[in-house]
Amino acid sequence: AQKITQTQPGMFVQEKEAVTLDCTYDTSDPSYGLFWYKQPSSGEMIFLIYQGSYDQQNATEGRYSLNFQKARKSANLVISASQLGDSAMYFCAMREEGAQKLVFGQGTRLTINP
Amino acid sequence: EAGVAQSPRYKIIEKRQSVAFWCNPISGHATLYWYQQILGQGPKLLIQFQNNGVVDDSQLPKDRFSAERLKGVDSTLKIQPAKLEDSAVYLCASSSQRRDTQYFGPGTRLTVL
C-alpha cells in the first residue's frame, strides 16, 4: 500500500499568490516525521520543512508552512507569496519511528507564472 | 559548511557494463543513504549505512548492486552489470544521526543504452 500520496501531478500558480501542495499519508506507527523537499531542474533535493507527529504547532520556515491535520493524515505544504524561483518538483516524505527510512510520494510539479 | 558531494554528475554506459558512483557526506554525519530516483517518481532507498555498517539494504538488488563505506566517511555504489532499467538519478544523502533530517547531494544521472 502506498504510504505517501500526492494527488496533484502539476500545479500552475501566478507569481505572488499563495499555493497549497497536498500530501496524505498512511501509517499505524504513532511516532513519525513528515518532510517536504524541493527538487529544481538541476536535480538536488533541498530540505524545506519538518513536522513531527507529536508536535503541537504546525511547522513554519520562512515562506513555507505545513498544514498538519493528524486526524485526516494530511500534511499539506503552503508556500506564501510565490516566486518564480519556486518552480520545481516538490516531494512529501515520511519517516516512521520503527522503519527509520524516508518514503517519498510521487511529487508535484509546481510552475510559477509571471 | 560543505554539502554532500557526489561524482560523477552524469554517466552514460552500455548495458552489461559496470559503473561506480562516489559520495562524500557532510562532515561529521554518521548516517549515509543511497537512493535511486527513476524519472517521474520519488526517490527510493537502496541502502543505509550507520558509520561503516549497513542498517538497511532490503531494496538493494544485490545480484548487481553493491555499496561500501569502508572508513565510515565516503561511500561507493557500484552496478555490475548494468541493465536498461537502471537508468535513473542516484542520490546520496547524509544525516547527523538516523532520526535527523537528511541532506542530499546533487545526484548522478545514469543513462544505460
Tell me which residue in B48, B98, B104 faces A44 most closely, judged by beta carbons: B104
pLDDT computed for residue B46 by the predictor: 97
Supply A109's cell numbers. Answer: 510539479
A89 interfacial to chain B (CB closer than 8 Å)? no
pLDDT computed for residue A33 by the predictor: 93
A59 interfacial to chain B (CB closer than 8 Å)? no
pLDDT computed for residue A50 by the predictor: 95
- Average pLDDT of chain A is 93
Contacts of B60 in chain A (CB under 8 A): none
pLDDT computed for residue B97 by the predictor: 75
pLDDT computed for residue B98 by the predictor: 66
pLDDT computed for residue B52 by the predictor: 85
Cβ atoms within 10 Å, residue A76? 19
User: What digits encode the pLDDT tens for the residues A73-94?
Assistant: 999 999 999 999 999 999 999 9
pLDDT higher than 80, residue A100: no
A41 interfacial to chain B (CB closer than 8 Å)? no
Confidence of residue A2 (pLDDT cuts 50, 70, 90): low
What Å distances lie between residue A114 and A17, A21, A83, A96, B46, CA to CA? 11, 19, 9, 39, 39
> Which of A66-75, A99-108, B50-59 has maximum average pLDDT?
A66-75
Higher pLDDT, A2 or A75: A75
Q: Please give the Cα distance from A10 to B94 (Å, whole number).
A: 29
Is A47 in contact with B106 (Cβ distance < 8 A)?
no
**Position A24: which residue type?**
T
SS3 for B5-61 is: EEECCEEEECCCCCEEEEEECCCCCCEEEEEEECCCCCCEEEEEEECCEEEECCCCC
Q: Which residue has the cell 532507498?
A: B45
